[in-house]
């Protein structure tokens, strides 16, 4: 385990400039590990400060779960945290003696990430040093040109001075589809620490959303109590597809879609090409999706803004259920819950919600009729917030208000350049504030899974140590 909380906001050990990484989940952890590695290789004294409000350094929201039924949604061969070494995770699991069918438990993956950070910390010391702080960063300001950033912390601690700040703050928590009265029976963020603690009382549970989060929640609450029945509601009622088993040996790989190379792109043409590729490889649509996925950020940037909006409105839900697939073990569990009448999946729009200390009632509109559902609990299991300007907390909201950052044109996240440098209100990419992972959803679309995060962390560390005028020494080429 890395040396957690060895740094206090007012006394950070080590020499050299400071990079403060805000958010200790997978994005922050991998950015920290890559920076430590790069700085040590370049013999660049550096202090890396990893700040997480929940103290979940090395884990974040996805990998702090303690439920063994919560599995990774990609096979181990695609979840290596080190780009260029796809076998790294599988070798780690073997060395740890972890038996698995290709899909590791997410809590094990949390150990893997934490171990990676600990290893980077050990190898980099004393040239580059890591401090972990548990605190909520509520503001970031630059007192003057060329001056370090000043990060304000909730509760009066700090501030932390940093030459560079990296926003690794994850997805913004989802909003409710309609006004929901605040109360103990509404769980607004199921991944907040302890959020599910009361939900195992055997009362029925309504989950908003039918994606991967819903599947995790349904397994967790039905595991906790054999009486629990779940109603999952989304507008389309679509469930994520199941991962196919291992490819048949000797099966020819699906080639990249050639017509997508270069030039301006329209959504209609893209959809046509993808459908045609899937039709040419019947039974292998999963490979078509997987071949397409690494190209998505580049394709996304070639689409006009109107086409991006159309994609979000019309196609995103279909892309998501095909792209974010579930392990066969999860699909089997969900099928059994449905067959036993313990999980009901409904399509419809939640148009009203009410409740008090004893339970909740939601009204679901579908095909011209409205049905009322009563339950003990209502859990929001939908995806990330759709508008950063409405959902940003004090830190991101403050950056937007001060003009140090601006939203991307779709307002899904922050605007940033190819290196992750946050673009300010005047349209200029600065050299002090960077972002990676989910906050870049609007500029890259596919940016939330480990494959993308790991590549971004590596590229960001390379940029900061070898190119950034704030950190890099002339001639440095680590
Ligand atoms: C339940 C779930 C399961 C997933 N499963 C997979 C999977 O199997 N495979 C895959 O590739 N991807 C998966 N993902 C996608 C996931 O987004 C990424 O893998 C990754 O975990 C994202 O990490 P992150 O660090 O960007 O965000 P997070 O894990 O959300 O971490 C962000 C951290 O920043 C902290 N923070 C935010 N704001 C502040 C602030 N102002 N001050 C201090 N701290 C702050 C938060 O408290 C949080 O701990 C899953 C996601 C979820 C939610």
320, two tokens: 């998501």
Q: What pLDDT is attached to residue 62?
A: 95
pLDDT tens column, 438-449: 999 999 999 999
Position 6 pLDDT exceeds 50? no
What's the CA-to-centroid distance between 83 and ligand 1, angstroms? 19
Q: Which two tokens stand for residue 444?
A: 């890259």
Q: Which atom of ligand 1 is nearest to the CA of 213?
A: 1
Secondary-structure breakdown of the chain: helix, strand, coil percentages, each rounded to the nearest 5: 35, 20, 45
What is the mean pLDDT of the segment spanning 301-316? 93
Q: Would you say 171 and 448 are in contact if contact means Cβ atoms under 8 Å apart?
A: yes
Q: Which of 32, 61, 196, 460 to mutate to test the pocket of ligand 1 (most atoms within 8 A of CB)?
A: 61
Please state, in angstroms and rounded to a whole number, the distance separating the CA atoms of residues 34 and 454. 9
Given the CA of residue 63, which atom of ligand 1 is nearest to it? 21
* Most informative mutation of 22, 149, 170, 171 for ligand 1 (most atoms within 8 A of CB): 170
Ligand 1 geometric centre to CA of 126 (Å): 29
Question: What is the tens place of the pLDDT at every residue in 167-182?
Answer: 999 999 888 888 888 8
Whether residue 7 is predicted with pLDDT greater than 50 in this model: the reply is: no
Q: What pLDDT score does 190 carry?
A: 94
Cα 61 to averaged position of ligand 1 atoms, centre (Å): 5
- pLDDT tens figures, 363-399: 999 999 999 999 999 999 998 888 999 889 999 999 9
Closest CA to 170 of 380, 27, 56: 27
Per-residue model confidence (pLDDT) at position 5: 47
Choose the residue to mutate in 25, 73, 433 for probing ligand 1, maximizing ligand atoms within 8 Å of C-beta. 25
Average pLDDT over residues 265-285: 86
Q: How far is the CA of 390 from the centre of ligand 1 (A)?
A: 20
Find the 264 Cα to ligand 1 centroid distance in Å.
Answer: 33
Residue 56: predicted pLDDT: 96
Measured distance CA(222)–CA(217) in Å, rounded: 8
| Cβ proximity of 14 and 45 under 8 Å | yes
> What count of other Cβ atoms lies within 10 Å of the Cβ of residue 210?
25
Report the C-alpha gap between 185 and 300 in whole angstroms. 39
Kindly report the protein residue whose alpha carbon is nearest to atom 23 of ligand 1.
26
- pLDDT value at position 13? 61
Ligand 1: centre distance to CA 26 (Å): 6
Distance from Cα 473 to the centre of ligand 1, integer Å: 32
Average the pLDDT over 135-145 and give the result. 93
Question: What separation in Å is there between the alpha carbon of 273 and the centre of ligand 1?
Answer: 32
Distance CA 373, CA 365 (A): 11
> Which 8-state DSSP code applies to residue 416?
B
Tell me which of 23, 141, 149, 385 to substitute to probe ligand 1's pocket, judged by most ligand atoms within 8 Å of the beta carbon: 23
CA of 25 to the centre of ligand 1 (A): 5
Can you tell me which residue has the tokens 């993808």?
A: 274
Q: How far is CA 425 from CA 56, 297, 412, in A?
A: 32, 23, 16
pLDDT score at 248: 57
pLDDT reading at 33 higher than 90: yes
Atom nearest to 29 CA in ligand 1 = 25
Q: In terms of pLDDT, which residue wins out, 384 or 41? A: 41
Given a contact cutoff of 8 angstroms between Cβ atoms, the answer to whether 32 and 120 are in contact is yes
For ligand 1, the distance from its centroid to the CA atom of residue 62, given in whole angstroms, is 5
- At what angle are helices 267-280 and 285-292 packed, to 10 degrees? 140
434 or 289, higher pLDDT: 434
Q: Which residues line ligand 1 (CB under 6 A)?
A: 22-28, 51-54, 56, 60-62, 72-74, 136-137, 168-171, 191, 213, 216, 395, 437-438, 448-450, 453
Question: Looking up tokens 């017509």, which residue turns up?
Answer: 259
DSSP state letters, 113-146: HHHHHHHHHHHHTTTEEEEEEE--EEEEE-SSTT
pLDDT for the residue 12: 61
Å from CA of 394 to ligand 1 middle: 18
198-243 residue pLDDT tens: 998 999 999 999 999 999 999 999 999 999 999 999 999 999 999 8
Strand partners, 371: 364
Closest-CA residue, ligand 1 atom 50, reads 62
Angle at 237 between CA 232 and CA 243, to 5 degrees: 95
For ligand 1, mutation pick of 29, 34, 60 (most atoms within 8 Å of CB): 60
Cβ 391 vs Cβ 173: under 8 Å: yes
**Contact partners, residue 178, CB within 8 Å, separation at least 6:** 350, 351, 352, 353
Q: Counting atoms of ligand 1 from 1, which one is nearest the CA of 137?
A: 42
CA of 129 to the centre of ligand 1 (A): 24
Atom 25 of ligand 1, residue of closest alpha carbon:
25
Contact 42, 128 (CB under 8 A): no
- Identify the structural domains of the chain with CATH numbers, from first to last: 2-173+386-466 (3.50.50.60), 186-241+325-380 (3.50.50.60), 258-323 (no CATH)
Mutate which of 26, 107, 139, 460 for ligand 1 pocket (most atoms within 8 A of beta carbon) = 26
- Say how many CA atoms lie within 13 Å of 62 toward its Cβ: 23
Cα(66) to ligand 1 centroid in Å equals: 15
- Report the alpha-carbon distance of residue 279 to residue 32 in Å, rounded: 43
Write the residue with the smallest CA distance to atom 18 of ligand 1.
449
CA dist., res. 304 & res. 281, Å (int)? 29
What is the Å distance from ligand 1's center to 151 Cα? 21
What is residue 106's predicted lDDT score, i.e. its pLDDT? 97
Describe the crossing of helices 88-95 and 106-124 by its angle, rounded to 10 degrees: 100
- DSSP string for 36-60: HHHHHHTT--EEEEEEETTS-TTTT
């Amino acid at each position: 385990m890395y040396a957690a909380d060895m740094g206090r906001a007012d006394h950070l050990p080590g020499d050299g400039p400071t990079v403060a990484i805000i958010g200790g989940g997978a994005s922050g952890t991998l950015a920290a590990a890559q920076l430590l590695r790069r700085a040590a290789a370049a013999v660049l004294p550096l202090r890396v400060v990893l700040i997480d409000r929940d103290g979940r350094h090395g884990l974040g929201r996805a990998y702090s779960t303690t439920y063994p039924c919560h599995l990774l949604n990609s096979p181990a061969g695609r979840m290596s945290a080190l780009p260029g070494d796809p076998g790294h995770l599988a070798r780690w699991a073997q060395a740890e003696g972890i038996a698995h069918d290709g899909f590791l438990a997410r809590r094990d993956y949390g150990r893997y990430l934490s171990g990676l950070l600990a290893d980077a910390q050990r190898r980099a010391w004393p040239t580059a040093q890591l401090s972990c702080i548990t605190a909520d960063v509520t503001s970031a300001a630059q007192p003057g040109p060329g001056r370090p950033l000043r990060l304000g912390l909730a509760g009066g601690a700090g501030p932390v001075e940093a030459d560079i700040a990296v926003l690794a703050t994850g997805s913004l928590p989802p909003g409710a589809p309609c006004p929901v009265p605040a109360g103990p029976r509404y769980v607004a963020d199921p991944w907040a620490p302890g959020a599910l603690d009361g939900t195992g009382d055997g009362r029925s549970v309504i989950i908003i959303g039918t994606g991967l989060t819903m599947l995790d929640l349904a397994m967790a609450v039905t595991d906790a109590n054999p009486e629990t029945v779940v109603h999952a509601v989304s507008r389309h009622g679509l469930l994520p597809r199941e991962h196919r088993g291992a490819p048949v040996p000797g099966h020819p790989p699906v080639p990249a879609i050639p017509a997508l190379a270069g030039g301006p792109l329209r959504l209609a043409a893209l959809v046509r090409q993808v459908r045609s590729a899937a039709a040419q490889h019947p039974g292998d649509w999963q490979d078509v999706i997987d071949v397409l996925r690494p190209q998505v950020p580049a394709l996304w940037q070639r689409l006009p803004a109107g086409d991006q909006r159309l994609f979000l409105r019309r196609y995103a839900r279909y892309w998501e259920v095909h792209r974010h697939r579930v392990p066969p073990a999860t699909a089997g569990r969900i099928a059994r819950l449905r067959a036993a009448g313990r999980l009901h999946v409904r399509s419809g729009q939640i148009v009203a919600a009410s409740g008090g200390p004893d339970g909740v009632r939601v009204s679901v509109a579908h095909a011209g009729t409205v049905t009322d559902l009563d339950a003990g609990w209502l859990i929001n299991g939908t995806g990330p917030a759709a508008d950063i300007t409405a959902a940003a907390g004090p830190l991101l909201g403050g950056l937007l208000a001060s003009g140090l950052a601006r939203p991307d044109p779709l307002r899904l996240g922050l605007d940033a350049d190819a290196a992750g440098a946050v673009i300010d209100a005047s349209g200029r990419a600065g050299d002090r504030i960077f972002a990676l992972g989910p906050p870049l959803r609007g500029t890259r679309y596919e940016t939330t899974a480990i494959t993308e995060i790991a590549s971004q962390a590596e590229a960001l560390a390379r940029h900061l140590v070898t190119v950034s005028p704030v950190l890099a020494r002339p001639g440095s080429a680590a």
